[in-house]
Structure 1
Amino acid sequence: MSHEQTPQIHGATAGGQDLDRADAALPARFEDPGLPEHRLRQADIDPAADKRAERQVVAMFALSVIGTVGFLIAYFALPPGETVASMRLSNIALGLSLFLAMFGIGAAAVHWAKTLMSDHERQEARHPQRSDAATREAALATLREGAEDSGIGRRGVLKGAVVSAVALAPLTVAVPLIGEVGGDWNVSKFRHTLWERGKRLARDPSGEPIRAADVTIGSVFHVIPENLREADHWIEEKAKAVVLMVRMDPRDLKEPTERAGWSYDGIVAYSKICTHVGCPVALYEQQTHHLLCPCHQSTFDMSDGAKVVFGPASRPLPQLPITVDDEGYLIAQDDFDEPIGPSYWERLR
């Protein structure tokens, strides 16, 4: 065994010597390679290209100005109406114009920096945080040099374009905020919906009333109040009144005594508005009876009072008490017993 091991030991020793010689050959430090050779851009050597780049930047700032003006026009001329089509048109007009206002400034700033501003790489040694007077004066000189390199002082049209675009862009935020001053801040309206005693449950969006006999175990219905479109501001009212209704085996229901009569033969109805931030919950899993909010994954147990079993929601979904009328149609016994949706200052729970 010793004769077989000897060559391995000598080999290891020879290898170690080779490594030592390699380490000795390495320099104590690497030389700084310095900055790569500066390559001039087309705008640096061609006055026509320089002027063309300036016009392009001005055009982008002008696009931003057009977007801001378009946003103001859309805000006042195309308010969201009572129909889905009018709301869609208003949102599209506001969204596109806001995109142009913000994109124009961003694209112009990037193009300006890449084509017109100085692109020389500079190095500066690290110094104590507070420099002496001479160093501070040198820094100011560097800033003045950078301003000179940017050409902002001698490019009058460009200067006017950037000032106009940057000055007008905040109007896309300020005008809607100012428009809300004096608006309807009555949050108590969230305490009540269109549901009332005797109001039939109808399919969303057809508005067809629902018979209890048509709701099979495991089925899910998206529900709105009957004759919803006859109400004033029906879109806003729908946003508060939407309900998700399911039917399960009555033996699977865990109902507290005070809510024993709120369901009908295994059919339960709960607000569709998540109690976290108000997203619509609509993903129902039949085997577990769990209802999932797609926004932040809050999960509610429909068989146990829609209690939260997972996620950031802090309260169960409000339950709509239901029964049937003489014709077998599902109807509401009353409105929700608590405000729907997320928390707000005035609500008690």
Structure 2
Amino acid sequence: MRGGVPIAVAGAVVLLVGAFAAGLVAGWATELIGLALGLGLIGAAFLVGQLQARTMRELVWPDEREPGDAPVATAVARHPVRRRRVLGGLGLGAVAGIGLLAWLGRDDPRGTAWRRGTHVVTADGTRIRAAEVPVGGFATVWPEDAQRADSAAAVLVRLTADPEPPTVLEWVVGRRIVAYSKICTHAGCPVGLYQDDADSLFCPCHQATFDAARGAVPTFGPASRPLPQLPLGVDDEGFLVATGEFPTPVGPVHG
């Protein structure tokens, strides 16, 4: 394929496909992954169109063939350059299609940026030491470098009483520091209030209440599912880190 524009577009498509794959592995925000995929598909469609137009220009059409010339399809198949272009276009489309299906059909429905070893940070990116969280303390936290990923927002509290099942005790730091998804399981509103004397989390939208000392199970209001608990741990310097992703989907689940 000749011309500077197609070559530049091909390079951009390669970069976008790489960004798409990296985003899936690194757990980027869904918006960024979708943007990379969308732009990559647009670029791929442009390249396929250019390939088709050039190939058609080079074909020998039936009314232009001399007696005994090979049929058009045979001519394309026997021409190595044309064959490579056609196969390359099909391969590019197949890669894009497989990537799209893999992204849409991921086994992990949670789709947040929490991963093992990800530091817990405040809105301004400050890491949090476990020793600095006061009793009854409450904060909204995010995975480091993903403070704009709303689906990953979590509430961090140091309970006033020892937690009990269904809280996963292995995910509790210092006996009483726990974290749960900030996205209410009823309608997806942010859980923004904490009553320390009862270790209760509240969603102000519809007054859903969750028991933070018992796995954030709903105790009042319309929510029927607990807030997903974030697996917590500490690094060698005492900073809070995630030890994995939320175990269940965040927010409301329909169907």
TM-score normalised by L of structure 2: 0.56
Deviations 1:296-317 (Å, cap 9, x if unpaired)?
1110010111000001111000
**Structure 2, unaligned stretches of length 5 or more?**
1-30, 33-99
Name the structure 1 match of 2:178: 268
CA distance in 2, matches of 1:335, 1:322: 10
In 2, are the aligned partners of 1:279 and 1:293 still within 8 Å (CA)? Answer: yes
Aligned residues of 1:192 and 1:336 also touching (Cα < 8 A): no
1:88-140 deviation per Cα after TM superposition (whole angstroms, max 9, x unaligned)? xxxxxxxxxxxxxxxxxxxxxxxxxxxxxxxxxxxxxxxxxxxxxxxxxxxxx
Equivalent residue for 1:192?
Answer: 111
Which of 134, 157, 162 aligns to 1:246? It is 157
Task: Verify: 1:302 aligned to 2:192, yes or no.
Answer: no
Q: Which has the higher helix share?
A: 1
Counting matched residue pairs gives 155
Q: In structure 2, how many angstroms separate the alpha carbons of the residues matched to 1:198 and 1:301?
A: 27
Note the 1:276-291 alignment, pairs <5 A.
Answer: 276-291=186-201
Percent of matched pairs sharing the same residue: 46
Map 1:143-162; keep pairs closer than 5 Å. Answer: none
Partner of 1:333 in structure 2? 243
2:127 to 187, 194, 209: 209
Which one has more relative contact order, counting CA pairs under 8 Å at least 6 apart? 2
- Paired with 1:206 and 1:214, the residues of 2 have a C-alpha distance of 17
| Cα contact 2:163–2:169 (8 A) shared by 1 | no
- What's 2:140 paired with? 222
3-state DSSP of counterpart to 1:240 = helix
RMSD between superposed Cα atoms in Å? 2.3
Gaps of 5+ in 1: 1-80, 83-182, 230-234
SS in 2 for 1:270: strand
* In structure 2, C-alpha distance between the alignment counterparts of 1:211 and 1:227, rounded to whole Å: 17
Q: CA offsets per residue over residues 233-283 of structure 1, 9 Å max, x none? A: xx4xx111000000024x431134x82211111100000000001000011
- Bigger fraction of residues in strand: 2
Q: Which residue of 2 aligns with 1:107?
A: none
Mapped pair 1:313 → 2:223: yes
How far did residue 192 of structure 1 move?
Answer: 2.7
Deviation track 1:143-185 (CA, whole Å, cap 9, x = no partner) reads: xxxxxxxxxxxxxxxxxxxxxxxxxxxxxxxxxxxxxxxx999
Tell me, what secondary structure is at the counterpart of 1:261?
A: helix
Residue type at the aligned position of 1:192: G
Aligned equivalents of 2:213, 2:127: Cα separation in 1: 24
Alignment partners' CA distance in 1, 2:141 and 2:225: 21
> What is the CA–CA distance in structure 2 between the aligned matches of 1:289 and 1:187, rounded to whole Å?
37
Question: Which residue of the partner structure matches residue 168 of structure 2?
Answer: 259
Structure whose alpha-carbon radius of gyration is higher: 1
